[in-house]
């Protein structure tokens, strides 16, 4: 046999044997397991870089942040789904170098999940570009892994993104009285129902009861664009609506325009908020009558 061919062949074979036999290499690395918390017993999810954001269950209601604000139920369900199904899918690196994955000590987001059994933990970095998962570290593991779930979207850096943005909701069929006030014109309109269920406007039969119901219904379930932390202007609002639904009163006020939206407040929201201008088309049409 040609010795020039034999020696390289032996070296290649030796390399293959070494890779197969060497313990701890990626080819023989068993992906760790992350013990999923008991979904039905999860009471707190804390996450963040340094200072943590708390998503927690209080009296059967998920709230977020401090002071506590009502959390978006759909987003909470997606987080719980992701926790229940979280698992490592791939080993990426065992080099101990984390910066390129945003998993360094100051860059990574640390997560702890509390249920009836204790607390489960993991840390995540940036989204894995080659999959639907996220680069992560699990407790007791130095390896960079990819785990299921887009955790940067599920647990956003701004906890306000987890808030329930529904700022006014009511059962339109139960509405008995609607009072509207326009500050600038001094106009006040009172819509009420008589004993037969007909709509009255300032005590007179209102001709388009069906249209009125449609415009009023458009106010229920509205979601704000964002919440506002600075105080409301002094003095009365530009428009004010007082709704009486089966004896329960709710007020809703429009203070003016800001950044192409309306600055508003509601007795159902702890903070002022911004609404897209088209949201209030029905209300403005009533005031223009």
How far apart are alpha carbons 188 and 169 in whole angstroms? 23
Residues 82 and 190 in one domain: no
Mean pLDDT of 249-264: 94
What whole-number percentage of the chain has pLDDT above 90? 65
Angle at 33 between CA 30 and CA 39, to 5 degrees: 165
Residues 35 and 153 in one domain: yes
In this prediction, residue 85 carries a pLDDT of 94
Q: At 94, which CATH number?
A: 2.60.40.4250
Residues 170 and 267 in one domain: yes
Residues 212 and 138 in one domain: no
Mean pLDDT of the chain: 88
How far apart are alpha carbons 112 and 48 in whole angstroms? 10
For 30-76, what is each residue's pLDDT tens digit?
Answer: 888 888 889 999 999 999 998 899 999 999 999 999 899 999 999 99
How far apart are alpha carbons 190 and 279 in whole angstroms? 21
Let me know if residue 12 belongs to a domain.
Answer: no
Expressed in percent and rounded to 5, the helix, strand and coil fractions of the chain are 25, 35, 40
For 76-118, what is each residue's pLDDT tens digit?
Answer: 999 999 999 999 999 999 999 999 999 999 999 999 999 887 7
Residues 138 and 180 in one domain: no
Name beta bridge partners: 204: 201
| Residue where one domain finishes, among candidates 105, 131, 162 | 162
- The whole domain housing 156 covers 30-162
Three-state DSSP state, 252:
strand
Q: Is the pTM of this model over 0.85?
A: no
Judge whether 64 and 57 are in contact, CB under 8 Å: no
In this prediction, residue 283 carries a pLDDT of 87
Number of domains the chain contains: 2
Q: At 192, which CATH number?
A: 2.60.40
Residues 52 and 148 in one domain: yes
Residues 50 and 114 in one domain: yes
Let me know if residue 251 belongs to a domain.
Answer: yes
| Residue where one domain finishes, among candidates 162, 191, 221 | 162
Residues 253 and 200 in one domain: yes
For 117-152, what is each residue's pLDDT tens digit?
Answer: 778 899 999 999 877 899 999 999 999 999 999 999
């Amino acid at each position: 046999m040609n010795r020039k061919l034999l020696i390289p062949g032996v070296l290649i074979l030796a390399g293959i044997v070494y890779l197969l036999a060497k313990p701890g290499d990626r080819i023989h690395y068993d992906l760790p397991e992350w013990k999923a918390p008991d979904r039905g017993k999860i009471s707190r999810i804390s996450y963040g870089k340094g200072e943590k954001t708390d998503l927690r269950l209080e009296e059967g209601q998920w709230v977020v942040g401090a002071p506590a604000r009502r959390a978006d139920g759909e987003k909470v369900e997606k987080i719980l789904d992701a926790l229940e199904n979280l698992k490592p899918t791939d080993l990426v690196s065992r080099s101990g170098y984390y910066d390129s994955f945003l998993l360094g000590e100051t860059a990574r987001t640390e997560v702890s999940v509390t249920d009836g059994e204790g607390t489960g933990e993991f840390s995540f970095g940036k989204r894995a570009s080659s999959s639907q998962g996220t680069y992560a570290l699990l407790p007791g593991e130095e390896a960079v892994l990819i785990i299921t779930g887009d955790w940067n979207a599920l647990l956003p850096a701004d906890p306000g993104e987890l808030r329930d943005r529904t700022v006014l909701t009511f059962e339109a069929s139960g509405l008995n009285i609607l009072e509207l006030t326009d500050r600038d014109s001094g106009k006040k309109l009172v819509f009420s129902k008589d004993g037969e269920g007909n709509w009255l406007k300032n005590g007179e039969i209102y001709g388009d009861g069906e249209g009125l119901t449609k415009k009023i219904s458009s106010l229920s379930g509205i979601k704000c664009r964002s919440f506002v932390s600075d105080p409301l202007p002094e003095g009365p609002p530009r428009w004010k609506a007082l709704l009486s639904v089966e004896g329960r009163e709710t007020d809703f006020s429009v203070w003016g325009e800001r950044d192409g939206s309306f600055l508003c407040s509601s007795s159902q929201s702890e903070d002022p908020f911004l609404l897209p201008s088209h949201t209030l088309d029905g209300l403005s049409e009533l005031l223009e009558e």
